[in-house]
Homo-oligomer: A and B are copies of this chain.
Amino acid sequence: MKIKDIGEFELINRITKKFKGKKILVGIGDDAAVIKTKGLQVLTTDCLIEGDHFRKEWFTPKQIGMKAIEINVSDVASMGGIPKYALISLCLPNNLDVSFVESLYKGFWESCDSYGIDIIGGNMAHSNQIMISIFILGEVDEKNLSLRSNAKTGDYLMVSGHLGNGRAGLRLFQENINAYKKIKNNYLEPKSKLDFSKKISSYVNSMIDISDGLAAETKHICDESNCGALIYKEKIPINDEVRAVAKTLSESEYDYALYGGEDFELLYSVSKENIDKVEGFIVGEITKNEGMFLLSNNKKERIKKGGYDHFSQDIL
């Protein structure tokens, strides 16, 4: 059955669940949602586009739904916030199967439930390509608020986990390679580092999530904090499987980590005083002078390349 056969309102009925939050006065079913808030709110939006962010041949609809939520939660986590409410704007082709949309929503709900997020609103429209635009509202304690703009000279530059998986997974699908199941699964089902963020956010000076590669994200911190950075190339945590994928494809695992996308780990800077209070991997330091440099075997070279740019590259 196609969505044009049942129409918009029946479709919305099928995918709407009751919300749980006690501060929700109005959920799905009116012109807008209404919630009771207090204090600092974090607001973010990110979208997934068929062809640009996912292919239906690689991802199940449920995985697409999960990924759409995770990438937004990742943005809230990188601010030190806790996600609370989601609104979902869907643009869908008429001839899409109803079951596809239902599975997509299973993915939305599974990820949202895992974080205690209520889906309180949304919108559907007709398009040629599948486009999923998610808006998340969360809360943040002022003491946990972690900006890109507050890195200090001398801070350690750290990452929450291993890098390069996102690009390695993408490359495996692009090259149609049937091995490395774990890498491919991590690519299909990325998880935000919200729990990790909760542990460290009150101790970091600056924080960002790594969606466009370590180099691009470090550059964002440097630009916003008016500082430079030195990245210790060999200290970048890259697991053996990602190294093996790079070797198989005669590519560089460091390029995956530095210039690849979609790792969704956190990148943060921490003062020397707080270094014992945080987990993670030290990958560099914040410097006074402008510019980003890569230190490898005692040689410093300027990092010129950026990360993934949505308009300059066709990646899938």
Contacts and interface: CB of A to CB of B under 8 A. Distances in A.
A30 to B, nearest CB: 5
Interface string A19-56: 00000011001111111111111111111010111000
B124 A310 contact: yes
Q: Which 3 A-B pairs have the closest CB atoms?
A: A32-B44, A133-B133, A135-B135
B85 A43 contact: yes
Contacts of A94: 311, 314
Interface stretch (A102-110, A145-153, A156-164): A145-153
Contacts of A39: 36-37
A83 to B, nearest CB: 10
A278 interface: no
Contact of A4 (B32, B147, B311): B311
B129 A311 contact: no
A127 interface: yes
A311 B43 contact: no
A125 interface: yes
A3 interface: yes
A79 B34 contact: yes
> How many copies of this protein are present in the complex?
2
Interface residues of A, number: 74
Given A47-B123, A128-B128, A312 B34 contact: no
Interface stretch (A7-15, A228-236, A289-297): A7-15
A140 interface: yes
A87 interface: yes
B33 A42 contact: yes
Interface of A, secondary structure class, is strand
A120 interface: yes
Interface string A83-102: 00101110110100000000
Interface in A262-316: 306, 309-312, 314
A194 interface: no
B148 A30 contact: yes
A32 B75 contact: yes
Contacts of A251: none
A92 B79 CA distance: 27
A135 B85 CA distance: 13
A31 to B, nearest CB: 4
A271 B94 CA distance: 41
26 contacts: A9-B309, A11-B311, A26-B79, A26-B145, A26-B147, A32-B44, A32-B75, A32-B76, A33-B42, A34-B145, A37-B38, A43-B135, A45-B87, A47-B91, A47-B123, A49-B91, A49-B125, A49-B127, A52-B125, A52-B126, A89-B89, A123-B133, A127-B129, A128-B128, A131-B133, A133-B133
